[in-house]
């Protein structure tokens, strides 16, 4: 059977790419990824008052495709434009709250903590993502030769500043101190993994703080990220990234969240943390170390299975 073709639309951020590519792979699509760029004037307007016209965005979306998967505010109008153009010849799926009528999409996938409801809404526990257990295993050896065989491993996954968290030096020093006191002083070796949003000054601070006995990855390295998740006995993720916390939950390993003071109301984050705590997945990083287990979270496969069942008889002609 010929594979269905997918067109993925995002703003190019890691969390968005992880979600659309994860769903596309789980659906078995042959896909192309477009980083959406809006024309300057239309960057200022929310989707609900933006015309559904191709002059709004710079991209030439002339690929052959059956399914559009979009994520993020900038991708809403291109998805609606394509749906209006091709009607039932395509299926369009949006990830996150599109802030327009949900009836514009065949499916809308949102985290459960967003409390968005509708006939075509599929709620996920946390963010869906591209990680697979087999991929972690395939990359285990990438960092293994740098690990001390006599030590346990803690992976610290670092996000970056956003409108809720500003990553000031004081709070980063406090997180590093907890990694040192809770883990390194108790015979752990640390693997420090930055993301696309991690400022270089934070990586440099980690190098200065931890020295050469810990493994500091100083650039975005997917293989190192996957290897660290597989090798780690404990995982610590900064609180600014619900995507990376969701990704870590595929391991079934103990996950600590390094909380930070907020610079604005983080109600959605609080609901996410409460949900993941109720599922036994996360605890806040404080001053002690525990070990716990939970059922590995694989929402991407669950949701893709539901969508496959719904579209199996769809006529794309």
Q: Which two tokens stand for residue 224?
A: 């190192």
pLDDT of res. 1: 52
Q: Which two tokens stand for residue 159?
A: 């996000």
Bridge partners of 287? none
Half-sphere exposure of 98 (CA within 13 A, CB side): 33
Spatial distance between the Cα atoms of 124 and 99, rounded to a whole number of angstroms: 18
For the stretch 202-222, pLDDT in tens is: 999 999 999 999 999 999 999
Residue ranges per domain, the chain?
5-125+299-311, 133-284
CATH topology of domain 5-125+299-311: Rossmann fold (3.40.50)
**Domains 5-125+299-311 and 133-284 agree in fold:** yes
Cβ-defined contacts of 34-43 (< 8 Å, 24+):
34/7, 34/8, 34/9, 34/10, 34/59, 34/61, 34/63, 34/78, 35/10, 35/11, 36/9, 36/10, 36/11, 36/72, 36/74, 36/75, 36/78, 37/74, 38/74, 38/77, 42/77, 43/74
pLDDT of res. 15: 87
> Can you identify the CATH homologous superfamily of domain 133-284?
Glycogen Phosphorylase B; (3.40.50.2000)
Give every residue of the chain whose pLDDT is below 50, as ranges.
none
Spatial distance between the Cα atoms of 103 and 125, rounded to a whole number of angstroms: 22
Longest dimension (CA), the chain: 63
Q: The whole model's pTM is what?
A: 0.89
């Amino acid at each position: 059977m010929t594979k269905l073709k997918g067109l993925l639309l995002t703003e190019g951020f890691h969390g968005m790419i992880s979600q659309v590519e994860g769903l596309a792979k789980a659906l078995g699509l042959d896909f192309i990824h477009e980083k959406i760029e809006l024309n300057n004037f239309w960057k200022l307007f929310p989707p609900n008052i933006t015309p559904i016209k191709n002059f709004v965005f710079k991209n030439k979306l002339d690929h052959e495709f059956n399914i559009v998967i979009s994520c993020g505010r900038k991708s809403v109008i291109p998805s609606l434009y394509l749906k209006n153009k091709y009607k039932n010849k395509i299926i369009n799926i949006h990830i996150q709250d599109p802030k327009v009528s949900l009836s514009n999409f065949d499916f809308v996938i949102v985290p459960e903590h967003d409390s968005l409801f509708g006939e075509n809404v599929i709620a996920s526990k946390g963010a869906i993502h591209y990680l697979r257990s087999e991929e972690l295993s395939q990359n285990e050896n990438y960092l293994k030769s740098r690990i001390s065989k006599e030590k346990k491993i803690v992976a610290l996954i670092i996000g970056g500043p956003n409108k809720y968290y500003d990553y000031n030096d004081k709070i980063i020093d406090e997180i590093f101190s907890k990694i040192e006191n809770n883990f390194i002083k108790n015979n752990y070796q640390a693997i420090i993994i930055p993301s696309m949003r991690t400022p270089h000054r934070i990586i440099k601070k980690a190098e200065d703080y931890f020295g050469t006995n810990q493994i500091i990855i100083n650039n975005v390295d997917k293989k190192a990220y996957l290897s660290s998740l597989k090798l780690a006995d404990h995982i610590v993720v900064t609180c600014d990234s619900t995507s990376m916390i969701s990704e870590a939950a595929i391991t079934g390993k103990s996950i600590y969240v390094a909380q930070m003071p907020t610079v604005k109301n983080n109600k959605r984050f609080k609901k996410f943390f409460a949900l993941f705590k109720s599922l036994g997945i996360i605890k806040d990083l404080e001053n002690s170390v525990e070990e716990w287990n939970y059922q590995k979270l694989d929402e991407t496969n669950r949701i893709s299975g539901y969508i496959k069942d719904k579209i199996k008889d769809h006529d794309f002609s």
